[in-house]
């Protein structure tokens, strides 16, 4: 199965800075997800994105988060003002048909 590719693999940022995490390149996929996993904890749903619109979002996905597909291929997650507790692995996933999701390799975000 073709994989979802995420960049960067690891990003270190200072608290308060903006970060953009990317799924690239993707075409002809309509359904995407962002999940995060704080080290040692469960995988948490952030947001789902269908046909260029947010389909569903969790309580975690507050005003500091946003998603978009700016050029029809890249699918981005933006965190406007990072906090220490945003340090986590962030996974992008695409849904295949009506069943499973295939995950990218993740971006490790470290906020210092």
Partner 1 sequence: AQTVTQSQPEMSVQEAETVTLSCTYDTSESDYYLFWYKQPPSRQMILVIRQEAYKQQNATENRFSVNFQKAAKSFSLKISDSQLGDAAMYFCAYRSANTGNQFYFGTGTSLTVIP
Count residues contacting partner 1 (CB under 8 A)? 28
Is 109 a residue that touches partner 1 (CB under 8 A)? Answer: no
Is 42 a residue that touches partner 1 (CB under 8 A)? Answer: yes
Cβ proximity to partner 1: between 17 and 55 the closer is 55
When binding is defined by CB under 8 A, the residue of 29, 69, 78, 108 that contacts partner 1 is 108
Q: What is the 3-state secondary structure (H, E, C) of 76-110?
A: EEEECCCCHHHCEEEEEEEECCCCCEEECCCEEEE
Is 8 a residue that touches partner 1 (CB under 8 A)? Answer: no
Is 7 a residue that touches partner 1 (CB under 8 A)? Answer: no
Q: Which residues make beta-bridge pairs with 66?
A: 78
Q: How far is CA 31 from CA 55, 78, 103, 110, in A?
A: 9, 18, 12, 27
Phi, psi for 7 (deg, rounded to 5) = -135, 150
Contacts with partner 1 by CB under 8 A lie at 31, 33, 35, 37, 41-45, 48, 50, 55-56, 58, 89, 91, 93, 95, 98-106, 108
């Amino acid at each position: 199965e073709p994989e979802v590719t995420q960049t960067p693999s690891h990003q270190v940022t200072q608290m308060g800075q903006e970060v953009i995490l990317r799924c690239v390149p993707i075409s002809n996929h309509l359904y995407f997800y962002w999940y995060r996993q704080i080290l040692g904890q469960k995988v948490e749903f952030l947001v789902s994105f269908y046909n260029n619109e947010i389909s569903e979002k969790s309580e975690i996905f507050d005003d500091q988060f946003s998603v978009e597909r700016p050029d029809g291929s890249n699918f981005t997650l933006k965190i406007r003002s990072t906090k220490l507790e945003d340090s986590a692995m962030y996974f992008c996933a695409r849904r295949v048909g009506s069943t499973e999701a295939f995950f990218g390799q993740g971006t490790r975000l470290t906020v210092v």
